[in-house]
């Protein structure tokens, strides 16, 4: 406990999923958490949860893809807190779009705008609130899809790949100012986004997706948002004080193999992980 005592931590896309789990964990570790999202009702519920547990949190309605919205948020933070110590760029969207020649231009642009441009805008306008501090930490939510490709999701692959390399650029730009920048690349995690893309646990399509996918990871299951939050905390805290410009893949071992064929077909292997 107390790994983020007296620190101002911004979490974008903080109302649900990985962002929500991370905001809650940051608050448990002593940070004053500024939750930035477009989901008002979910943010309100999160604040009640954090504050009832004795944590500190505030909510801000921010569209990370919109320059004016981000600038206004940065001005509010400057006026109220005067600094930012931790930035978790988590906000993002995803959607299949078909093969590249079929992929809708509007969808491609929309994903880049929220995922990649949003990460850039938040960094651009909040880094000045880190400069002059003794130290600062930026964690960008990328994805295993930023290092490895998916069928029919080239827009998402491009955005997340861009985030990984943008993180490295940020790390070398600001390392001598005491600001570290790293990315975390989750595998398949149980979040509201997964429900939107594949169906819920109660829906037949969602059940089929989870049944087929849980055997792809050597650990034999999907991940939990709280497991990603712990990785983000590590990168945001002094526990990783000499780590910058790196991408931490948290995928249950999914990207550790070259071909999953035997693991998928070997029933005896499956039974050992029931």
**Number of CB atoms found within 10 A of residue 119's CB:** 29
89 membership: H or E segment, kind and range: strand 86-89
Instruction: Tell me whether residue 81 is one of the annotated catalytic residues.
Output: no
Assign 3-class secondary structure to 59-88: EEECCCCCHHHHHHHHHHHHHHCCCCCEEE
Of 71, 75, 55, 67, which is closest to residue 14 (Cα–Cα)?
Answer: 55
Catalytic residue among 72, 103, 156, 242: 156
Among 124, 130, 128, smallest CA distance to 166 is for 124
Sign of the four-CA dihedral 71, 119, 37, 137 = negative
Mapped onto helix, strand or coil, the DSSP state of residue 115 is: helix
**Could you list the active site residues?**
156
């Amino acid at each position: 406990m107390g790994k983020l005592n007296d620190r101002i931590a911004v979490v974008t896309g903080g109302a649900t999923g990985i962002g929500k789990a991370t905001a809650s964990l940051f608050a448990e570790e002593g940070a004053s958490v500024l939750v930035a999202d477009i989901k008002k009702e979910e943010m309100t519920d999160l604040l009640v949860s954090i504050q009832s547990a004795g944590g500190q949190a505030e909510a801000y309605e921010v569209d990370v893809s919109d320059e004016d919205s981000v600038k206004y948020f940065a001005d509010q933070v400057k006026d109220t807190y005067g600094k930012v110590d931790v930035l978790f760029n988590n906000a993002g969207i995803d959607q299949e779009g078909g093969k590249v020649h079929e992929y809708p231009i509007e969808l491609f642009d929309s994903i880049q705008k929220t995922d990649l441009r949003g990460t850039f805008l938040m960094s651009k306008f909040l880094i000045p609130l880190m400069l002059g501090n003794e130290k600062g930490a930026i964690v960008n939510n990328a994805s295993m899809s930023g290092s490895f490709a998916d069928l029919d999701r080239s827009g998402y692959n491009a955005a997340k790949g861009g985030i990984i390399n943008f993180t490295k650029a940020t790390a070398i730009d600001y390392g001598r100012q005491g600001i570290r920048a790293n990315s975390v690349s989750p595998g398949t995690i149980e979040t509201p986004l997964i429900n939107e893309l594949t169906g819920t646990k109660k829906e037949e399509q969602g059940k089929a997706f989870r049944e087929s996918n849980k055997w792809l990871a050597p650990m034999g299951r999907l991940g939990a948002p709280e497991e990603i939050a712990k990785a983000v905390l590590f990168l945001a805290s002094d526990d990783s004080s000499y780590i910058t410009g790196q991408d931490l893949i948290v995928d249950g071992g999914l990207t550790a193999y070259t071909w999953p064929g035997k693991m998928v077909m070997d029933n005896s292997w499956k039974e050992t992980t029931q």
